[in-house]
Amino acid sequence: MTSGIGSPADHYYRRVYTDAVRLVDAVRTLPGVDPSRIALTGGSQGGGIAIAAAALVEAHVGPITAVLPDVAFLCDWEGGTDIAVGGPYLELATYLSVHRDAADTVWDTAAYFDGVNHAAGITAPALFSVALMDDVVPPRTTFAAFNALGADDTYALADRQIEVYPYNGHEGGGFRHWERQVAFLRARA
């Protein structure tokens, strides 16, 4: 989270997000793949990457069928850092405890990679999940991204859902949520 935090051009997630978009580009060219039926999903860090990739693919490559982040990390970086009791957001808190004058730079850089900002550009149908006892990804960070969905396009808000798992931690909904993801995709096939 802090590798290259001084500049968006140098930050670690710049390459990760670029690679995710390029992967979607490559998958669309594979034999047996219908390029008009691509969905992006992932859990935790993969969920945050799915959000960013969905927004970037839709903006620069073309539409996707759906985005399905599960207990998505990399959303609401500043809010997550303010309330985290465990997990990777504490890396930012530790960094800022030593680099006390760097907060503005850190949050300016983080804004480029924050799933909340990316979610605003998503127009594809979305099924999120959040676990209310998650001590790795504070639930409010996932809710922040979900609530930002389609903010750049008011028509995108209609087809979105969030599954809430009140008694689960970072494992989220597990197998039950995978079944819900499959049903979500089937309903949009």
Whether residue 3 lies inside any domain: the answer is: no
Neighbouring residues of 173: CB distance < 8 A, sequence distance ≥ 6: 70, 129, 131, 163, 165, 180
Q: What is the pLDDT of residue 86?
A: 87
Number of domains in the chain: 1
Whether residue 2 lies inside any domain: the answer is: no
84: DSSP letter: -
Number of other residues whose CB lies within 10 A of the CB of residue 81: 24
Positions marked catalytic = 44, 134, 170
3-55: pLDDT as tens digits: 999 999 999 999 999 999 999 999 999 999 999 999 999 999 999 999 999 99
59-114: pLDDT as tens digits: 999 999 999 999 999 999 999 999 998 899 999 999 999 999 999 999 999 999 99
The CATH number given to whatever domain includes residue 132 is 3.40.50.1820
What's CA 108's distance to the chain center, in Å?
18
Whether residue 128 lies inside any domain: the answer is: yes
What's CA 173's distance to the chain center, in Å?
17
Predicted TM-score (pTM) of the model is 0.96
- Yes or no: say if 142 and 72 are a contact pair by the CB < 8 Å rule: yes
Whether residue 49 lies inside any domain: the answer is: yes
Number of other residues whose CB lies within 10 A of the CB of residue 85: 9
Whether residue 184 lies inside any domain: the answer is: no
120-179: pLDDT as tens digits: 999 999 999 999 999 999 999 999 999 999 887 765 567 999 999 999 999 999 999 999
Whether residue 183 lies inside any domain: the answer is: no
Q: What is the pLDDT of residue 154?
A: 60
* Domain hosting residue 44, numbered range: 12-177
| Sign of the dihedral defined by the CA atoms of residues 98, 103, 108, 110, in that order | positive
Check whether 115 has a pLDDT greater than 60: yes
Check whether 58 has a pLDDT greater than 90: yes
Whether residue 186 lies inside any domain: the answer is: no
Beta partners for residue 68, in sequence order: 41
What's CA 103's distance to the chain center, in Å?
22
Whether residue 185 lies inside any domain: the answer is: no
Q: What is the pLDDT of residue 100?
A: 96
